[in-house]
Structure 1
């Protein structure tokens, strides 16, 4: 799994940091994939891969994934960008796209 993630083209080279653990339940071995909560989210691909679109951001909320033909809800994506930009001391993506205009001086 780690080699699989390492082989994918993630934007900017930022890949999720994961750990694989194994547990036994009734003599059945189950792999647990832990994705660490790091400030480099959102992670997204530079190129399409098996139905996943390049530059789309996918999320999982409870037991539901973002459909392959869609991108995550804007408020969720914005929250991830804010976490990343706060860590890097930058503005949010909406500020990059829509810079604030200087205030006019009243006469």
Structure 2
């Protein structure tokens, strides 16, 4: 079916508004850029990293990308099942759900 004006493009304004993404390794170079794009498009986010200080710093920078954005930095090792389970629970509790996992 050809694209028509009745179909919204994937970059339509607010398509990601109030969605929640959890990104493991979100404090790293590649993943933080992906999360930045989603935050700019309207997502709120939780990022995890092994070093709390770095993770919280990146979370604060990401939160500053869009007025009203909520970005939480959590120290967690992706190899630790319990830590990741706790990160998911905190994401749902503080941001109201979980729509995307990276």
- TM-score bucket (shorter structure): under 0.3
Q: Which has the larger radius of gyration?
A: 1
**Please, what TM-score do these two structures have when normalized by structure 2?**
0.24
